[in-house]
A = this chain, B = another copy of it.
Amino acid sequence: MENFSFHNPTQIDFGKEKEKLIGEHLAKHGIKKVLLCFGSDRIKRDGLFDTVADSLAQFNISYVECGGIVSNPIMAKVYEGVQLAKTEKVDAILSVGGGSVLDSSKAIAAGALYEGDTWDLFIRKGTIEAALPIFDILTMAATGSEMNCGAVVTNEKTQQKYSINSQHTYPIVSIINPVLMQSVSNDYLVYSAADIIAHSIEGYFTASIHPHFQSRLVESIIKTVMETTEILLRDPKDYTARAEFAWASTQALNGLTYSGTAGSSYPNHMIEHSLSAIYNVPHGGGLSVIIPAWMKWYHPQNPEQFARFAKEIFNLETAEEGIAALENWFNKVGTPTRLGQFAIPASDLEKITRNVLGNAEYFGIGTIYTEDVITTILNNAF
């Protein structure tokens, strides 16, 4: 077990109607004015926006709107939010939406207190020394952003999907009401499941040191996500399943599964980021394509853990059987497993490979993920 430090300061307020407490949470932290970040106008149509506005009004908290954040969020919107946060002198950022809105909010929170170009923080040209406090109401469970300090945004000009991480970008309070997630489409539900599974397996398979307790925790998350995804496909309003799915999603990337591990990397995310940067494919859908393709190439490097995965998750014996079973499960629930399902032509192989090579350097695993390796994995995905 590797030495580690674990400190996750985020307060989670989880359950039915918890969004009504957002004003109280903000007031407790002395917040008077927020930048209210959100995606489409759906939250205005379904009443969530009004609920939030009412709660803010109750505590005399004013807000400035920053709507229109898209999935696979882009820097243009972050720059807009940073400008607004600065000119409007807000005290905090309030994210109402899924992982894309929250990640953009984190970037805005950091950018608002940074003198230079916010993108500097993504390319390590600048350091996050402070950020506006971040609060959020989560409407989709997938990225785990609600209980970690990471944010991923695409620079649409350079087609780079990069990230920030800082002790300053943990949300202060994250509100998770599973009822708000009932309207997530089946497509996005299964993409989310793939994203959570990806968060779970990256460290599980790639770490050179991976304690048994951490493996068991990861397996608990995966089993819960698979089980509840199937229930939710049959009945999107099953509250218990929705809640377990959401909480497992939070656990998958709040640092706990990585505590005591060493040598982890994120190759599946690294490759997928190129797909969403170039083709704007849904992140989770891209991951369900890449995961089996990567596993087929990678498994001989960690045969014991792949055998363990097959046994624990599917009660099967061999690495190959476990990989096939996961791919079958992706197919069964309806998330893609081939690039062709996104109409990405095989002739784009070289273009994607070039983009992934840039990511590999950024992710610090360029010596492992060479052109040959990436080509092999992508060919598995075609």
**Copies of the protein in its oligomer:** 2
- A223 nearest CB neighbor, chain B only: B216
> In the docked arrangement, what's the CA distance between A6 and B219, Å?
22
Complex Cα distance, B7 from A251, in Å, reads: 14
Q: Which of A4, A18, A178, A251 has the most CB of B within 10 A?
A: A4
Q: Are A247 and B260 in contact (CB under 8 A)?
A: yes
Q: A239-B1, A259-B14, A260-B14 are in contact. Are A244 and B212 (CB under 8 A)?
A: yes
B residues in contact with A260, CB < 8 Å = 14, 243-244, 247
Q: What per-residue 1/0 map shows which CB atoms of A2-30 lie under 8 Å from chain B?
A: 11111111111111101000000000000
Identify which of B9, B15, B212, B217 contacts A4 (C-beta below 8 A): B15
Q: Does A220 contact B (CB under 8 A)?
A: yes
**Does A5 lie within 8 Å of B1, measured CB to CB?**
no
A67 contacts partner chain B, Cβ-Cβ < 8 Å: no
Q: Which listed residue, B3, B10, B13, B18, touches A14 by the CB 8 Å rule?
A: B3
Q: List 19 A-B contacts (CB under 8 A).
A: A3-B18, A5-B11, A5-B13, A5-B14, A7-B11, A7-B12, A8-B8, A9-B9, A211-B243, A211-B244, A213-B220, A213-B244, A213-B247, A213-B248, A213-B251, A216-B219, A217-B217, A219-B220, A247-B260
